[in-house]
Amino acid sequence: MRRITIWLLSTVAALVLLFSYRTSTMGAGGETSAVAGGDPAGGAWSGTDGGATGSAPSDGAPSDGAATGGSGTNGSGTTGDGTATGSVAQTRWGPVQVRITVSGGKITDVVAVQVPDGNHRDQEINDYAVPILRQEVLAAQSARIDTVSGATVTSDGYRESLQSAIDAAHLR
């Protein structure tokens, strides 16, 4: 009887430790992410929009979505060259934000501007996951990309910020 009790307590203790350990790969059902500022699109584009030129913040800080560069005709469904920075997706483990570079209406580059980095494990996960997410975006040319196993929260935030950048660049 004593062995069973010790085994049972050890098992319960191990499970408690396993499920309470905080990493950016785990969520407990209540994980949500939201775009800062309440605007679901949030990103902005500043090439030429049918003759009107916009601009990025003067300090270059892309905190809530900004875009720079290039020329094109966004109002007509085609996009010129430039960059668009998506809104900051506030995830359970920290902010995620991406910037896309567009050339000829295609996404030619994606850079993670912000990813969770609160601990060493977050950094390990993102060193692994972010290059995979980047390759998926370049292949898919959209935010319809798979979640990287072991980096669910970061993947969700990445997709959310990416979609706002794509919306700002008027890509389809």
Supply the DSSP string of 7-33, one letter for each residue.
Answer: HHHHHHHHHHHHHH---TT---S----
**Cα 148 → chain centroid:** 12
pLDDT band at 90 (very low <50, low <70, confident <90, very high): very high
pLDDT digit string, tens, across residues 5-49: 777 667 766 655 555 444 333 333 333 333 333 334 456 555 544
User: 68 or 168: whose pLDDT is higher?
Assistant: 168
What's this model's pTM, rounded to 2 decimal places?
0.61
CA neighbor of 165 nearest in space, from 83, 90, 94: 83
- Check whether 81 has a pLDDT greater than 90: no
pLDDT digit string, tens, across residues 116-166: 998 999 999 999 999 999 999 999 999 999 999 999 999 999 999 999 999
Cα atoms found within 13 Å of the Cα of residue 17, Cβ hemisphere only: 6
Tell me which of 48-57, 72-81, 153-162 is least confident. 48-57
Question: What's the CA angle centered on 96, arms 130 and 109, to 5 degrees?
Answer: 50
Q: At what angle do helices 152-168 and 120-140 cross, to 10 degrees?
A: 40
- Residue type (1 letter), 18: L
The predicted pLDDT at position 14 comes to 62
pLDDT band at 2 (very low <50, low <70, confident <90, very high): confident
